[in-house]
Amino acid sequence: MNTANSRFITLADVAEVLNISAAQAYALVRNGDLPAIKVGGRGQWRIEYSQFEQYITRMYQQTRNFVAAHPFTTDS
């Protein structure tokens, strides 16, 4: 994925970066977790790179909140 010259990335790029399936990337868009647009006659999905970065930041925050609410403890 080369974002140096590109404002948008594809669902395949999202899947590759997050190490998830294409179907999982599509689900992120369809359920509204990852804002995207459809372009072209065939309705290709594109995600603005800044929106992708914001999504990653939100997921880090959600993970921190989850860990804080569910601390890992070892009971002996």
The verdict on residue 13 lying in a domain is yes
Residue 39 included in any domain: yes
How many folded domains does the chain comprise? 1
Give the integer Cα–Cα distance in Å for 40 and 32.
20
> Looking at the domain assignment, is residue 29 inside a domain?
yes
Looking at per-residue pLDDT, the higher value among 5 and 76 belongs to: 5
Is 70 exceeded by the pLDDT of residue 2?
no
- Assigned domain for 48 exists: yes
Per the document, the length of the chain is 76
Average pLDDT over residues 24-29: 98
State both tokens at 62.
């959600």
**Structural domain range at position 47:** 8-69
Are 47 and 8 in contact by the 8 Å Cβ rule? The answer is yes
DSSP 46: E
pTM of the model: 0.83
Q: What is the dihedral of CA 31, 59, 55, 9, to 10 degrees?
A: -90
